[in-house]
Structure 1
Amino acid sequence: MAGILGPRAIFWAFLVLATGVIYNTYIHNFIFITVGIGREIQPIEDFPWTCTRVRHPLLEGCEDLWLDDQDRKLYAACNSLESRKGWSPGGNLYNISTRSRTDHIAVIDVDQPGSDGLYGLRQLKIGGYQDDLDLHGFDVRKIEGRLRFWLINHRPPVDHVTGEFLDALVVGANSTVEIFDLDETSDTLEHVKTVASEAIFTPNGVAVEEDGLGFVITNDHNTKTGTMRVLEMLSGGGSLAYCRSDTGKCHIAADKGFSMPNGIAHDKNGYYYVANSASGLITVHKLVNNKLIHVESINTGYPMDNLWLDADGNLIAAAFPDSIAFVKSIMDPYNVVPPATVLMFNDIAKQLKTYGKNVKVSKLVEDRDAKSLPSSTVAVHDVKGHKLFLAGRTLTPLGCDRCKGHGHSLSVSTGLGDS
């Protein structure tokens, strides 16, 4: 063949082949998934929702949500906008001096709006923990009549000899998982344990098993800082760490085939669903012999953040239809509100067994013109109350009443979050 085509023809054939591989492997996803060139974004008028605003400082900077659908309370991990604009290791922001040191868990009573429309909004106290919290994703389980919280904490790096801060731009955050208990009659989170491990290096999301012992962390990058971390938007990267709450031990359980793994959810069938922000894939995994085995990949066509499994087994994903506008909102959250999308996978476990990777996805709501919704980092569906709660990168929360199908329902968005 070489004699027939000649060296120059072989060179050009190889160049064309290599270009095709690079495009299909790296460039295509970045253009059409991450950036969203050519994506059709629908106006909110196409969906049966109307919206009202709820304003309060406790609902700023909320990255993640968790709904107690039995006791009818919604918990949110929040901070100030100014703090997240500077100190947000998940978003490559390492300015320690901007930390407000006001991270907190906010609570609302989802069925009791009250005369002020704030749903009994309050902040939980912190007991038995001496350091500041720098919150990201979290998960909760009911354990022996208490709520147990697993909170990702992006602490700044400290020299253990001098007590001085290290250069976070060089060494990254000193991230841990902090475990707290909340008694049903108390408003104070009591510290139980700190889980620190080399396997928890760029944590983003956490999903806890039903017994509250095992949990999985998504590491959204391969490195804490540096040029290669930025390039992972194209090349892919990230891993899953499996940890035990009882022993505090963790290990990397999967590290292949990820593209910035972000939100994660766990169901009673033993499936772990992982949102890959850069590729638009939801990868599905099962724990086998302490390894998280890849089961399937579901293509959504959207970059995504956090995932939520509702009481009916529907998987809810907060997605970014316009990533360029989303990045602008990170830099200027007070003035820029990008479009938002919430995706829904009906009875995801059943669909997965029936259709495999051809699971059907629908838009629960979308807001092309950013009239009513924030760019949501998390969306939580309340089946019992027919409500939808959203948290995203805007200054003020929003409420949405669903006008068709299920009577009235409420959506609350809660401020700025990390991607």
Structure 2
Amino acid sequence: MPTAATSIYYALVVAWGASFYQFYLRDVFTTTLGLGRVVQDIGEFPYDCRRIVHPRLEACEDMWLDNEGRVLYAACAGTEARVNWCQAADKFNVSARRPGASELIALDIDEPGVEGMYNLRSIRPMGYTGAQGDGDDSFDLLGFDAEVLDGDTIQFYFVNERPPVGPFNNHIDASVVGINSTIDVFEMRRGEEVMRHLRTILSRAVHDPNRVAALGQGEFVVSNFHSAKTGWRKKLDFVIGGGSVAFCNVNGDCHTAVSGDEPDEILSANIDPQPLYKEYLNKALSVLPKTKLKLPNGLTRGFDNLIYVPSSVDGQIRVYAINSHSLLQQIDTVYTGMPLDNISPDARGDLYVAGFPDIRATVKGMADPTNLDVPSTILRIRKTVDLERKKVDYRVEKVLEDREGKIVSGATTVRHDVRTGRLWMGAAVHPYIMVCDPR
């Protein structure tokens, strides 16, 4: 017969195991791995979808839609290049980069043309000398953002995964030191096919950049997907959490912006002029527990001037306000139930985000994107503010899903065109972009 001490020991082990499952493993199984998740067929949704296949539309990880100019911009790296050169996936074969590296492709979304290529053209960089040692103006694009400065000027903020170089401009082993990531800012006039380089931002606070969110006046925030460029700490991020968000000013000075402090000036930023909404935010600050980032992916700035940071592990979208110290303070959390990639607002302010309903299939598809189709989900998050009840709600709705990846496969970004209702989607590694027209 077990002693009282033994009984207590086993009881504690069972209790600990139950707690561990309740607070960690259950979330991993149901949210991250999606065990038991019902994934729908694309035919169940009111869209007619197709792929647009072209060698220059391969591995278009991110997109930005100029709603007024009616032009979609896509950052495309090439499938073969992406599966061999991507810090987030620990791919460091510099010799496999595409000749000429990445391109910013422009599509006139209202003019499909005879071949359905939407007047596809490349926006050529000017005044940029490329990665040191490359000898050309090539760059390696990942996520990006843009803002319209006036009626004709657009400013782009690109994540640029440049090869690291040694003292004599020779490439060095990126698997050891990591990729030499920078944020490069360009400017162009609507209707032109060139963009002029303005500045390059290099900072220790921007070590594994994934996507930029422009804030105006040359400032931006950027998500770091991992906590380190290489090594075991990076590999453990998926399990124990990791990653960060950095803030950079117009002078290129950057710092880690997610802080555990709660400064009094939290609402001094231009969040919302309505006093009752500010009262809601103050209340949220006092009761909402801060949660550790878990592979923060393609963040964005909403029309409410809040920063939305999706997670590729726990399916949460953490909502942050920026204070007068340029730090981020978490004020809300949106639960979606699946790993996420890039999130973007449409012209109405609704947020659209690409999700991974089967993360295991996603990982396999990234290794062989030419032959494997990957299930994809598109979610819409609609925010409502009840000023009388001092309450904010986020309604998460599945607007499109492709269980077999028949057409929408491996989507990592989505842009919703309010005027036509179309969904434009890009993929980090797959050799096409996708578009869905509402029936």
TM-score by length of 1: 0.90
- Which residue number in structure 1 is paired with residue 133 of structure 2? none
Query: Judging changes above 3 Å, is the alpha-carbon distance between structure 1 residues 374 and 243 closer, same or farther for their aligned structure 2 residues?
Result: same
- Which residue number in structure 2 is paired with residue 150 of structure 1? 157
Alignment of 1:321 onto 2:357: yes
Following the alignment from structure 1 to structure 2, what is the Cα–Cα distance between the partners of residues 354 and 158? 57
- Which residue number in structure 2 is paired with residue 266 of structure 1? 301
Following the alignment from structure 2 to structure 1, what is the Cα–Cα distance between the partners of residues 160 and 18? 41
Following the alignment from structure 1 to structure 2, what is the Cα–Cα distance between the partners of residues 150 and 299? 28
Which residue, out of 193, 196, 201, partners 2:199? 193
Question: What letter is aligned with 1:157?
Answer: P
Question: What letter is aligned with 1:329?
Answer: G
Instruction: Give the conservation status (yes or no) of the 8 Å contact 2:301–2:308.
Output: yes
Which residue, out of 178, 190, 209, partners 2:184? 178
2:182 alignment partner, SS class: strand
Instruction: Give the conservation status (yes or no) of the 8 Å contact 2:426–2:432.
Output: no
Q: Shift in Å at residue 83 of structure 1?
A: 0.5
Question: What letter is aligned with 1:247?
Answer: N
- Which residue number in structure 2 is paired with residue 294 of structure 1? 330
Q: Shift in Å at residue 232 of structure 1?
A: 1.2
Equivalent residues, number = 396
Following the alignment from structure 1 to structure 2, what is the Cα–Cα distance between the partners of residues 248 and 155? 18
- Which residue number in structure 2 is paired with residue 415 of structure 1? none
Instruction: Give the conservation status (yes or no) of the 8 Å contact 1:299–1:357.
Output: no
Alignment of 1:397 onto 2:429: no
- Which residue number in structure 1 is paired with residue 113 of structure 2? 114
Q: Shift in Å at residue 229 of structure 1?
A: 1.3
Following the alignment from structure 2 to structure 1, what is the Cα–Cα distance between the partners of residues 113 and 217? 34
Following the alignment from structure 1 to structure 2, what is the Cα–Cα distance between the partners of residues 267 and 274? 11
Instruction: Give the conservation status (yes or no) of the 8 Å contact 1:351–1:359.
Output: no
Which residue, out of 236, 239, 244, partners 2:241? 236
Following the alignment from structure 1 to structure 2, what is the Cα–Cα distance between the partners of residues 394 and 352? 44
- Which residue number in structure 1 is paired with residue 285 of structure 2? none
Q: Deviations over 1:81-121 (max 9, x none)?
A: 11111111122212222111420100000000111111000
Following the alignment from structure 1 to structure 2, what is the Cα–Cα distance between the partners of residues 339 and 237? 26
Q: Deviations over 1:265-301 (max 9, x none)?
A: 1123221011011110000000013210000111100
Q: Deviations over 1:344-401 (max 9, x none)?
A: 012x263899796852211111111222212200011010222110112422333322
Q: Which moved more, 1:111-120 or 1:368-377?
A: 368-377
Instruction: Give the conservation status (yes or no) of the 8 Å contact 2:60–2:433.
Output: no
Q: Which moved more, 1:180-189 or 1:233-242?
A: 180-189
Instruction: Give the conservation status (yes or no) of the 8 Å contact 2:342–2:354.
Output: yes
- Which residue number in structure 2 is paired with residue 377 of structure 1? 412
Query: Judging changes above 3 Å, is the alpha-carbon distance between structure 1 residues 331 and 357 closer, same or farther for their aligned structure 2 residues?
Result: farther
Question: What letter is aligned with 1:152?
Answer: V
Which residue, out of 403, 408, 416, partners 1:368? 403
Instruction: Give the conservation status (yes or no) of the 8 Å contact 1:111–1:385.
Output: no
Which residue, out of 76, 88, 103, partners 2:86? 88
Query: Judging changes above 3 Å, is the alpha-carbon distance between structure 1 residues 356 and 109 closer, same or farther for their aligned structure 2 residues?
Result: same
Following the alignment from structure 2 to structure 1, what is the Cα–Cα distance between the partners of residues 111 and 342? 26
Query: Judging changes above 3 Å, is the alpha-carbon distance between structure 1 residues 51 and 188 closer, same or farther for their aligned structure 2 residues?
Result: same
Q: Shift in Å at residue 180 of structure 1?
A: 0.3
Q: Shift in Å at residue 124 of structure 1?
A: 0.9
Instruction: Give the conservation status (yes or no) of the 8 Å contact 1:297–1:357.
Output: no
Query: Judging changes above 3 Å, is the alpha-carbon distance between structure 1 residues 69 and 324 closer, same or farther for their aligned structure 2 residues?
Result: same
- Which residue number in structure 2 is paired with residue 226 of structure 1? 231
Instruction: Give the conservation status (yes or no) of the 8 Å contact 1:307–1:315.
Output: yes
Q: Shift in Å at residue 247 of structure 1?
A: 1.1
Following the alignment from structure 2 to structure 1, what is the Cα–Cα distance between the partners of residues 160 and 389? 38
Question: What letter is aligned with 1:263?
Answer: G
Instruction: Give the conservation status (yes or no) of the 8 Å contact 2:213–2:301.
Output: yes
Q: Deviations over 1:6-41 (max 9, x none)?
A: 432343233334333433444222221111110000
- Which residue number in structure 2 is paired with residue 166 of structure 1? 172
Following the alignment from structure 2 to structure 1, what is the Cα–Cα distance between the partners of residues 424 and 390? 29
Instruction: Give the conservation status (yes or no) of the 8 Å contact 1:59–1:397.
Output: yes
Following the alignment from structure 1 to structure 2, what is the Cα–Cα distance between the partners of residues 351 and 84? 44
Following the alignment from structure 2 to structure 1, what is the Cα–Cα distance between the partners of residues 300 and 7? 51
Question: What letter is aligned with 2:120?
Answer: L
Structure 2: state its 5+ residue gaps. 131-137, 260-290
Question: What letter is aligned with 2:213?
Answer: A
Q: CA RMSD in A?
A: 2.0
Alignment of 1:125 onto 2:124: yes
Following the alignment from structure 1 to structure 2, what is the Cα–Cα distance between the partners of residues 80 and 311? 29
Instruction: Give the conservation status (yes or no) of the 8 Å contact 2:421–2:437.
Output: no
Q: Deviations over 1:32-63 (max 9, x none)?
A: 11111100001111101122332211111100
Which residue, out of 302, 305, 308, partners 2:341? 305
Q: Shift in Å at residue 5 of structure 1?
A: 7.4
Instruction: Give the conservation status (yes or no) of the 8 Å contact 1:141–1:148.
Output: yes
Question: What letter is aligned with 2:258?
Answer: A
Following the alignment from structure 2 to structure 1, what is the Cα–Cα distance between the partners of residues 337 and 174? 34
- Which residue number in structure 1 is paired with residue 255 of structure 2? 251
In percent, how many aligned pairs have the same letter? Answer: 35
- Which residue number in structure 2 is paired with residue 35 of structure 1? 33
Which residue, out of 192, 201, 216, partners 2:221? 216
1:334 alignment partner, SS class: coil
Instruction: Give the conservation status (yes or no) of the 8 Å contact 2:303–2:349.
Output: no
- Which residue number in structure 2 is paired with residue 339 of structure 1? 375
Q: Deviations over 1:60-93 (max 9, x none)?
A: 1100000000010000000111111111112221
Query: Judging changes above 3 Å, is the alpha-carbon distance between structure 1 residues 42 and 221 closer, same or farther for their aligned structure 2 residues?
Result: same
Instruction: Give the conservation status (yes or no) of the 8 Å contact 1:62–1:78.
Output: yes
Q: Deviations over 1:172-230 (max 9, x none)?
A: 11111000011224211110000111100111111111x34221111111111112212
Following the alignment from structure 1 to structure 2, what is the Cα–Cα distance between the partners of residues 99 and 46? 39
TM-score by length of 2: 0.86
Structure 1: state its 5+ residue gaps. 404-419
Q: Which moved more, 1:353-362 or 1:72-81?
A: 353-362
Following the alignment from structure 2 to structure 1, what is the Cα–Cα distance between the partners of residues 29 and 332? 24
Question: What letter is aligned with 1:368?
Answer: R
